[in-house]
Amino acid sequence: MATTFTYKIANLDRETADGYVNQAHYTINAGDGTYTAGAYGSLGLERPDTLVPFADLTEDTVVGWVKDKLGADKVTEIETALQAQLDEQTAPTKASGVPW
């Protein structure tokens, strides 16, 4: 089964005076129907020329900001690392224990 990557916003930090969101806390979850892996990060955001009112923000909008700020190479790097974790769960290459 193909791996699905799901981006979510865990929390936002903002300035109360104007609603400017200056930091996004995000999660990325990977799943293949059997196994799961995840990552968490926080990312500072620059003040845009035009603020979107805080009440009008959607998760999709902020996920777009996070992906844009990370850049395509970093998104690929994170997703590749999560895929490697799933692959290791599917076919472990290391184990521990004793033979008796």
Residue 58 within a domain: yes
Residue 8 within a domain: yes
Per-residue pLDDT of the chain (100 residues; tens, 9 = 90+): 799 999 999 999 999 999 999 999 999 999 999 999 999 999 999 999 999 999 999 999 999 999 999 999 999 999 999 999 999 999 999 999 999 9
* Full domain range(s) for residue 27: 4-73
Beta bridge partners of 31: 4, 36
Residue 91 within a domain: no
Question: Which of 67, 75, 79 lies closest to 37 in space, CA to CA?
Answer: 79
Cα end-to-end distance, the chain, whole Å: 36
Running DSSP on this structure, what letter comes out for residue 3? Answer: -
Domain count, the chain: 1
Other Cβ atoms less than 10 A from the Cβ of 37: the count is 20
**Six-digit token pair at 60?**
């999709």
